[in-house]
Protein backbone atom coordinates (compact mmCIF):
# COMPACT_ATOMS: atom_id res chain seq x y z
CA UNK A 1 0.00 0.00 0.00
CA UNK A 2 1.27 3.44 -0.86
CA UNK A 3 1.97 5.65 2.12
CA UNK A 4 0.64 9.16 1.57
CA UNK A 5 1.37 12.25 3.61
CA UNK A 6 -1.04 15.13 3.18
CA UNK A 7 -0.40 18.82 3.67
CA UNK A 8 -2.87 21.46 4.69
CA UNK A 9 -4.10 23.60 1.84
CA UNK A 10 -4.85 26.73 3.87
CA UNK A 11 -3.55 29.86 2.11
CA UNK A 12 -1.50 30.92 5.14
CA UNK A 13 -0.01 28.17 7.30
CA UNK A 14 1.10 27.84 10.89
CA UNK A 15 3.95 26.09 12.66
CA UNK A 16 2.39 22.77 13.65
CA UNK A 17 3.85 19.51 15.00
CA UNK A 18 7.45 20.39 14.22
CA UNK A 19 7.07 21.46 10.60
CA UNK A 20 6.37 24.73 8.89
CA UNK A 21 3.73 25.43 6.28
CA UNK A 22 3.91 28.69 4.39
CA UNK A 23 2.00 31.04 2.19
CA UNK A 24 3.00 29.77 -1.23
CA UNK A 25 1.95 32.94 -3.06
CA UNK A 26 5.09 34.77 -1.94
CA UNK A 27 7.17 32.30 -3.95
CA UNK A 28 5.38 32.88 -7.25
CA UNK A 29 7.34 35.47 -9.19
CA UNK A 30 5.80 38.30 -11.19
CA UNK A 31 5.53 36.14 -14.28
CA UNK A 32 3.25 33.71 -12.42
CA UNK A 33 5.57 30.72 -12.65
CA UNK A 34 4.81 27.68 -10.50
CA UNK A 35 6.64 27.12 -7.25
CA UNK A 36 10.04 25.47 -7.22
CA UNK A 37 10.68 22.70 -4.72
CA UNK A 38 13.72 20.93 -3.33
CA UNK A 39 14.23 17.79 -1.26
CA UNK A 40 16.57 17.86 1.74
CA UNK A 41 18.07 14.61 2.99
CA UNK A 42 18.22 14.65 6.79
CA UNK A 43 20.90 12.73 8.64
CA UNK A 44 20.29 11.65 12.24
CA UNK A 45 22.04 8.68 13.85
CA UNK A 46 19.29 8.51 16.49
CA UNK A 47 16.69 8.17 13.71
CA UNK A 48 14.42 10.71 15.39
CA UNK A 49 14.73 13.80 13.18
CA UNK A 50 15.98 12.38 9.91
CA UNK A 51 14.02 11.68 6.74
CA UNK A 52 13.21 13.86 3.74
CA UNK A 53 12.19 17.50 4.05
CA UNK A 54 10.35 19.26 1.23
CA UNK A 55 11.25 22.95 0.95
CA UNK A 56 9.92 25.75 -1.21
CA UNK A 57 12.51 27.68 -3.21
CA UNK A 58 12.30 31.34 -4.13
CA UNK A 59 14.26 31.37 -7.38
CA UNK A 60 14.58 35.15 -7.30
CA UNK A 61 16.24 35.40 -3.88
CA UNK A 62 17.47 31.85 -3.26
CA UNK A 63 15.45 31.69 -0.04
CA UNK A 64 14.31 28.28 1.26
CA UNK A 65 11.27 27.62 3.42
CA UNK A 66 10.60 24.31 5.11
CA UNK A 67 7.20 22.86 4.18
CA UNK A 68 7.17 19.46 5.85
CA UNK A 69 9.35 16.54 6.90
CA UNK A 70 8.58 12.94 6.02
CA UNK A 71 9.90 9.59 7.30
CA UNK A 72 11.74 11.12 10.25
CA UNK A 73 12.96 7.69 11.42
CA UNK A 74 14.94 7.25 8.19
CA UNK A 75 18.63 8.18 8.04
CA UNK A 76 19.16 10.00 4.71
CA UNK A 77 22.82 10.97 4.52
CA UNK A 78 23.19 11.40 0.76
CA UNK A 79 21.62 13.57 -1.93
CA UNK A 80 18.37 12.04 -3.24
CA UNK A 81 18.30 10.93 -6.87
CA UNK A 82 15.75 12.70 -9.11
CA UNK A 83 14.23 11.54 -12.38
CA UNK A 84 13.83 15.10 -13.74
CA UNK A 85 10.03 14.96 -13.52
CA UNK A 86 8.38 14.20 -10.18
CA UNK A 87 10.01 11.13 -8.59
CA UNK A 88 12.86 11.02 -6.10
CA UNK A 89 14.81 8.11 -4.63
CA UNK A 90 16.54 8.11 -1.26
CA UNK A 91 18.19 5.64 1.09
CA UNK A 92 17.91 4.65 4.73
CA UNK A 93 21.54 4.24 5.78
CA UNK A 94 21.30 1.49 8.35
CA UNK A 95 22.74 -1.97 8.84
CA UNK A 96 19.59 -3.43 10.34
CA UNK A 97 16.40 -4.28 8.52
CA UNK A 98 13.05 -3.99 10.26
CA UNK A 99 12.40 -6.85 12.68
CA UNK A 100 15.86 -8.32 12.12
CA UNK A 101 16.56 -11.52 14.07
CA UNK A 102 18.38 -10.77 17.32
CA UNK A 103 17.97 -7.07 16.58
CA UNK A 104 20.56 -6.60 13.81
CA UNK A 105 21.67 -7.28 10.26
CA UNK A 106 19.97 -7.61 6.92
CA UNK A 107 20.82 -4.19 5.53
CA UNK A 108 19.04 -0.92 4.83
CA UNK A 109 16.30 0.36 2.53
CA UNK A 110 15.68 2.37 -0.62
CA UNK A 111 12.58 4.57 -1.05
CA UNK A 112 10.76 5.95 -4.07
CA UNK A 113 8.54 9.02 -3.60
CA UNK A 114 6.56 11.38 -5.84
CA UNK A 115 6.02 15.10 -5.34
CA UNK A 116 2.82 16.87 -6.30
CA UNK A 117 3.86 20.00 -8.18
CA UNK A 118 0.78 21.94 -7.10
CA UNK A 119 0.64 21.17 -3.37
CA UNK A 120 4.20 20.10 -2.53
CA UNK A 121 2.76 16.93 -1.06
CA UNK A 122 5.08 13.92 -1.07
CA UNK A 123 3.71 10.42 -1.64
CA UNK A 124 5.85 7.40 -0.78
CA UNK A 125 5.55 4.97 -3.70
CA UNK A 126 7.37 2.07 -2.10
CA UNK A 127 10.25 0.94 0.09
CA UNK A 128 12.50 -2.01 -0.71
CA UNK A 129 15.41 -3.65 1.05
CA UNK A 130 18.76 -2.52 -0.35
CA UNK A 131 20.16 -5.99 0.38
CA UNK A 132 23.37 -4.61 1.91
CA UNK A 133 24.45 -2.85 5.08
CA UNK A 134 24.58 0.94 5.28
CA UNK A 135 23.37 1.90 1.79
CA UNK A 136 24.76 5.39 1.38
CA UNK A 137 24.12 6.68 -2.16
CA UNK A 138 21.98 5.97 -5.21
CA UNK A 139 21.95 7.08 -8.85
CA UNK A 140 19.65 6.71 -11.85
CA UNK A 141 20.68 5.66 -15.33
CA UNK A 142 20.12 7.98 -18.30
CA UNK A 143 16.94 6.20 -19.41
CA UNK A 144 15.48 6.31 -15.86
CA UNK A 145 14.88 2.57 -16.02
CA UNK A 146 17.36 1.46 -13.38
CA UNK A 147 18.63 2.57 -9.98
CA UNK A 148 22.08 1.75 -8.61
CA UNK A 149 22.76 1.68 -4.87
CA UNK A 150 26.16 1.47 -3.16
CA UNK A 151 26.80 0.18 0.36
CA UNK A 152 29.28 1.69 2.75
CA UNK A 153 29.26 -1.28 5.18
CA UNK A 154 31.48 -0.99 8.27
CA UNK A 155 34.62 -2.59 9.66
CA UNK A 156 32.72 -3.12 12.92
CA UNK A 157 30.15 -5.42 11.29
CA UNK A 158 31.75 -8.84 11.46
CA UNK A 159 31.18 -12.44 12.45
CA UNK A 160 33.66 -15.05 13.61
CA UNK A 161 33.40 -18.52 12.07
CA UNK A 162 35.22 -21.70 12.99
CA UNK A 163 37.03 -23.29 10.07
CA UNK A 164 39.21 -26.33 9.59
CA UNK A 165 42.22 -25.73 7.37
CA UNK A 166 43.51 -28.19 4.78
CA UNK A 167 46.19 -29.37 7.21
CA UNK A 168 43.51 -30.16 9.76
CA UNK A 169 44.26 -27.19 12.03
CA UNK A 170 41.22 -25.45 13.55
CA UNK A 171 41.14 -21.68 13.31
CA UNK A 172 38.76 -18.72 13.54
CA UNK A 173 37.89 -16.74 10.38
CA UNK A 174 36.54 -13.20 10.51
CA UNK A 175 33.96 -12.36 7.85
CA UNK A 176 32.68 -8.88 6.97
CA UNK A 177 29.60 -7.55 5.21
CA UNK A 178 29.78 -7.38 1.42
CA UNK A 179 30.60 -3.91 0.05
CA UNK A 180 28.30 -4.06 -2.95
CA UNK A 181 26.75 -2.18 -5.84
CA UNK A 182 23.13 -3.26 -6.40
CA UNK A 183 21.18 -2.73 -9.62
CA UNK A 184 17.39 -2.35 -9.27
CA UNK A 185 14.76 -2.31 -11.97
CA UNK A 186 12.24 0.56 -11.95
CA UNK A 187 8.55 -0.05 -12.55
CA UNK A 188 6.55 2.04 -15.06
CA UNK A 189 5.03 4.12 -12.22
CA UNK A 190 8.52 4.98 -10.90
CA UNK A 191 8.42 2.63 -7.94
CA UNK A 192 11.41 0.38 -7.29
CA UNK A 193 11.23 -3.13 -8.72
CA UNK A 194 13.33 -6.22 -8.20
CA UNK A 195 17.10 -6.42 -7.88
CA UNK A 196 18.65 -7.42 -11.21
CA UNK A 197 22.35 -7.72 -10.48
CA UNK A 198 25.11 -6.92 -8.00
CA UNK A 199 28.86 -6.42 -7.92
CA UNK A 200 30.89 -7.08 -4.76
CA UNK A 201 34.16 -5.29 -4.12
CA UNK A 202 36.19 -7.68 -1.94
CA UNK A 203 38.04 -6.70 1.19
CA UNK A 204 41.80 -6.28 0.84
CA UNK A 205 43.69 -7.27 3.95
CA UNK A 206 43.38 -4.67 6.71
CA UNK A 207 41.96 -2.00 4.38
CA UNK A 208 38.20 -2.30 4.60
CA UNK A 209 36.15 -1.56 1.47
CA UNK A 210 33.82 1.42 2.09
CA UNK A 211 31.82 2.43 -0.99
CA UNK A 212 30.79 6.02 -0.35
CA UNK A 213 29.08 7.54 -3.40
CA UNK A 214 27.91 6.80 -6.94
CA UNK A 215 27.23 9.12 -9.92
CA UNK A 216 26.00 8.80 -13.48
CA UNK A 217 28.27 10.45 -16.07
CA UNK A 218 27.60 10.20 -19.81
CA UNK A 219 26.24 6.68 -19.56
CA UNK A 220 28.86 5.50 -17.07
CA UNK A 221 28.70 5.18 -13.29
CA UNK A 222 31.51 6.23 -10.98
CA UNK A 223 31.95 5.16 -7.37
CA UNK A 224 34.34 6.31 -4.63
CA UNK A 225 35.78 3.68 -2.28
CA UNK A 226 36.79 5.51 0.88
CA UNK A 227 38.39 2.43 2.42
CA UNK A 228 40.51 1.22 -0.49
CA UNK A 229 41.31 4.77 -1.72
CA UNK A 230 40.01 3.99 -5.19
CA UNK A 231 37.41 5.08 -7.70
CA UNK A 232 35.65 2.65 -10.04
CA UNK A 233 33.79 2.97 -13.33
CA UNK A 234 30.94 0.73 -14.48
CA UNK A 235 28.54 0.31 -17.35
CA UNK A 236 25.05 -1.22 -17.30
CA UNK A 237 24.48 -3.66 -20.16
CA UNK A 238 21.45 -5.95 -20.54
CA UNK A 239 20.58 -5.62 -16.88
CA UNK A 240 24.11 -6.46 -15.71
CA UNK A 241 26.79 -4.38 -13.95
CA UNK A 242 30.11 -4.37 -15.80
CA UNK A 243 33.18 -3.10 -13.93
CA UNK A 244 35.30 -1.13 -16.44
CA UNK A 245 38.21 0.38 -14.51
CA UNK A 246 39.70 0.83 -11.05
CA UNK A 247 42.04 3.69 -10.13
CA UNK A 248 44.03 4.08 -6.92
CA UNK A 249 43.82 7.69 -5.80
CA UNK A 250 46.59 7.60 -3.18
CA UNK A 251 47.08 5.70 0.03
CA UNK A 252 45.08 6.86 3.05
CA UNK A 253 43.26 9.61 1.15
CA UNK A 254 39.71 8.32 1.83
CA UNK A 255 38.20 9.65 -1.42
CA UNK A 256 34.67 10.82 -0.80
CA UNK A 257 32.43 12.78 -3.21
CA UNK A 258 32.73 13.95 -6.83
CA UNK A 259 31.49 16.74 -9.08
CA UNK A 260 31.72 16.94 -12.87
CA UNK A 261 32.74 19.63 -15.33
CA UNK A 262 29.74 20.70 -17.47
CA UNK A 263 31.52 20.33 -20.84
CA UNK A 264 34.80 18.43 -20.31
CA UNK A 265 35.39 14.78 -19.41
CA UNK A 266 36.72 15.92 -16.03
CA UNK A 267 35.66 15.04 -12.49
CA UNK A 268 36.75 16.61 -9.21
CA UNK A 269 37.00 14.49 -6.08
CA UNK A 270 37.27 15.31 -2.39
CA UNK A 271 39.27 13.39 0.19
CA UNK A 272 38.47 12.87 3.84
CA UNK A 273 42.08 12.43 4.94
CA UNK A 274 44.05 14.60 2.51
CA UNK A 275 43.66 18.35 2.02
CA UNK A 276 43.55 18.51 -1.75
CA UNK A 277 41.20 18.12 -4.69
CA UNK A 278 41.74 15.27 -7.12
CA UNK A 279 41.23 15.99 -10.81
CA UNK A 280 40.26 12.93 -12.88
CA UNK A 281 39.96 12.38 -16.61
CA UNK A 282 37.18 10.00 -17.71
CA UNK A 283 37.00 8.33 -21.11
CA UNK A 284 33.24 7.96 -21.79
CA UNK A 285 33.60 5.21 -24.39
CA UNK A 286 35.77 2.86 -22.33
CA UNK A 287 35.37 4.07 -18.74
CA UNK A 288 39.15 4.48 -18.46
CA UNK A 289 40.11 6.63 -15.46
CA UNK A 290 43.20 8.77 -14.91
CA UNK A 291 44.35 11.01 -12.07
CA UNK A 292 45.78 14.09 -13.76
CA UNK A 293 46.25 16.58 -10.91
CA UNK A 294 46.12 17.13 -7.16
CA UNK A 295 45.46 20.69 -6.02
CA UNK A 296 45.74 21.87 -2.41
CA UNK A 297 42.68 23.56 -0.97
CA UNK A 298 44.71 25.78 1.37
CA UNK A 299 47.27 28.44 0.80
CA UNK A 300 50.72 26.96 1.43
CA UNK A 301 51.20 29.06 4.55
CA UNK A 302 47.95 27.73 6.01
CA UNK A 303 48.44 24.03 5.46
CA UNK A 304 50.13 23.06 8.71
CA UNK A 305 47.87 25.37 10.70
CA UNK A 306 44.58 24.03 9.37
CA UNK A 307 45.39 20.39 8.63
CA UNK A 308 42.59 19.27 10.93
CA UNK A 309 40.09 20.21 8.18
CA UNK A 310 38.96 17.83 5.45
CA UNK A 311 37.00 18.29 2.24
CA UNK A 312 33.47 16.97 2.38
CA UNK A 313 31.94 17.93 -0.97
CA UNK A 314 32.58 20.01 -4.09
CA UNK A 315 30.51 21.50 -6.91
CA UNK A 316 31.14 23.24 -10.26
CA UNK A 317 29.25 26.24 -11.66
CA UNK A 318 27.21 25.62 -14.84
CA UNK A 319 29.60 27.83 -16.85
CA UNK A 320 32.59 25.69 -15.79
CA UNK A 321 34.54 28.67 -14.40
CA UNK A 322 34.46 28.05 -10.63
CA UNK A 323 34.76 25.13 -8.25
CA UNK A 324 33.60 25.33 -4.63
CA UNK A 325 34.86 22.96 -1.95
CA UNK A 326 33.31 22.51 1.50
CA UNK A 327 35.72 21.98 4.40
CA UNK A 328 34.70 20.56 7.75
CA UNK A 329 36.88 21.03 10.82
CA UNK A 330 37.35 18.79 13.83
CA UNK A 331 37.68 22.06 15.72
CA UNK A 332 37.42 25.71 14.73
CA UNK A 333 35.84 27.23 11.64
CA UNK A 334 34.36 25.44 8.64
CA UNK A 335 34.89 26.87 5.16
CA UNK A 336 33.88 27.06 1.53
CA UNK A 337 36.93 27.36 -0.71
CA UNK A 338 36.62 29.12 -4.07
CA UNK A 339 38.80 27.77 -6.88
CA UNK A 340 39.18 29.17 -10.40
CA UNK A 341 39.01 26.73 -13.32
CA UNK A 342 40.97 27.34 -16.50
CA UNK A 343 39.87 26.34 -20.01
CA UNK A 344 41.19 22.81 -19.46
CA UNK A 345 39.29 22.48 -16.20
CA UNK A 346 42.33 22.71 -13.93
CA UNK A 347 41.64 24.32 -10.52
CA UNK A 348 43.62 27.01 -8.73
CA UNK A 349 43.00 28.07 -5.12
CA UNK A 350 41.69 31.62 -4.76
CA UNK A 351 40.32 32.21 -1.25
CA UNK A 352 37.76 30.98 1.26
CA UNK A 353 34.60 32.00 3.12
CA UNK A 354 33.93 30.99 6.70
CA UNK A 355 30.68 28.99 6.84
CA UNK A 356 28.01 30.26 9.21
CA UNK A 357 27.22 26.74 10.41
CA UNK A 358 28.80 23.46 11.49
CA UNK A 359 29.81 20.45 9.39
CA UNK A 360 28.91 21.22 5.74
CA UNK A 361 28.19 17.64 4.65
CA UNK A 362 27.07 18.58 1.13
CA UNK A 363 26.90 21.46 -1.35
CA UNK A 364 24.13 22.25 -3.82
CA UNK A 365 23.65 24.91 -6.48
CA UNK A 366 20.62 26.44 -8.15
CA UNK A 367 20.18 25.38 -11.76
CA UNK A 368 21.00 28.86 -13.03
CA UNK A 369 24.22 29.00 -11.00
CA UNK A 370 23.15 32.07 -8.99
CA UNK A 371 23.00 30.53 -5.51
CA UNK A 372 25.14 28.10 -3.55
CA UNK A 373 23.88 26.11 -0.56
CA UNK A 374 25.95 24.50 2.20
CA UNK A 375 24.07 21.81 4.13
CA UNK A 376 25.35 21.97 7.71
CA UNK A 377 24.33 18.66 9.23
CA UNK A 378 25.55 19.29 12.79
CA UNK A 379 24.22 22.83 13.30
CA UNK A 380 21.01 21.86 11.49
CA UNK A 381 20.82 24.66 8.94
CA UNK A 382 21.55 25.47 5.30
CA UNK A 383 23.77 28.44 4.50
CA UNK A 384 22.65 30.36 1.40
CA UNK A 385 25.18 32.30 -0.71
CA UNK A 386 24.74 34.42 -3.81
CA UNK A 387 27.34 33.65 -6.47
CA UNK A 388 28.63 36.93 -7.88
CA UNK A 389 29.77 37.42 -11.47
CA UNK A 390 33.44 36.96 -10.52
CA UNK A 391 32.72 33.78 -8.55
CA UNK A 392 32.90 35.38 -5.10
CA UNK A 393 30.27 34.34 -2.56
CA UNK A 394 27.96 36.74 -0.76
CA UNK A 395 26.37 35.25 2.37
CA UNK A 396 22.59 35.75 2.43
CA UNK A 397 21.13 33.78 5.33
CA UNK A 398 20.97 30.54 7.29
CA UNK A 399 17.76 28.53 6.98
CA UNK A 400 16.96 26.15 9.82
CA UNK A 401 16.52 22.58 8.53
CA UNK A 402 17.12 20.17 11.46
CA UNK A 403 19.73 17.54 10.50
CA UNK A 404 19.71 18.78 6.86
CA UNK A 405 22.63 17.03 5.15
CA UNK A 406 21.95 17.28 1.39
CA UNK A 407 19.80 19.20 -1.08
CA UNK A 408 18.31 18.25 -4.46
CA UNK A 409 16.34 20.73 -6.58
CA UNK A 410 13.21 19.20 -8.09
What was the pLDDT predicted at 22?
41
pLDDT of 41 higher than 60: yes
pLDDT over 90, % of the chain: 65
Q: How far apart are CA 381 and CA 357, in angstroms?
A: 7
The maximal CA–CA distance of the chain, rounded, in angstroms, is 81
Q: 300-310 pLDDT, tens per residue?
A: 555 545 555 67
Q: How far apart are CA 377 and CA 236, in angstroms?
A: 33
Residue 260 binned pLDDT confidence (cut-offs 50, 70, 90): very high
Q: 115-161 pLDDT, tens per residue?
A: 999 899 999 999 999 999 889 999 999 999 999 999 988 767 778 89
Average pLDDT, the chain: 86
pLDDT over 70, % of the chain: 86
Closest CA to 95 of 128, 131, 149, 124: 131
**Structural domain for 315, as ranges:** 3-409
Residue 189 burial class via C-beta count within 10 angstroms: exposed 0-12, middle 13-18, buried 19 and up: exposed
Q: 161-209 pLDDT, tens per residue?
A: 999 999 999 999 888 888 999 999 999 999 999 999 999 998 776 678 8
Q: Out of 116-120, 212-216, 248-252, 293-297, which region has the weakest mean confidence (pLDDT)?
A: 293-297
CA distances to 2, 25, 156, 223, 240 from 185, rounded to whole Å, are 18, 39, 31, 19, 11
Give how many domains the chain has, as a whole number: 1
Q: 228-248 pLDDT, tens per residue?
A: 999 999 999 999 999 999 999
Q: Which domain CATH number covers 240?
A: 2.130.10.10
What was the pLDDT predicted at 3?
42
Tell me how crowded residue 284 is: count the other CB atoms within 10 A of its CB: 12
pLDDT of 114 higher than 70: yes
Closest CA to 338 of 328, 329, 327, 330: 327
According to DSSP, the residues that pair with 164 across neighbouring strands are 170
Amino acid sequence: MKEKYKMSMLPVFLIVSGYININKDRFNDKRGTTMKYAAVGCWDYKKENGGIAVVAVDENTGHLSLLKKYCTNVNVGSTPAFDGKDTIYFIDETANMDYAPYGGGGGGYVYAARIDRESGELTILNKVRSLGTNPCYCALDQERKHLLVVHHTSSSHNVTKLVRKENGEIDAEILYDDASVLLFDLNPDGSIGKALDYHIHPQNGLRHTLLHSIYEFKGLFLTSDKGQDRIYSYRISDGKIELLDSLEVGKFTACRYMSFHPTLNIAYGTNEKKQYINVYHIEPETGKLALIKDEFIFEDSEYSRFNAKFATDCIVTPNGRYLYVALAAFSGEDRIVTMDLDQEGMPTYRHYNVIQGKCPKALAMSEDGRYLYACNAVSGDISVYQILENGDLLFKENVKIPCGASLRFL
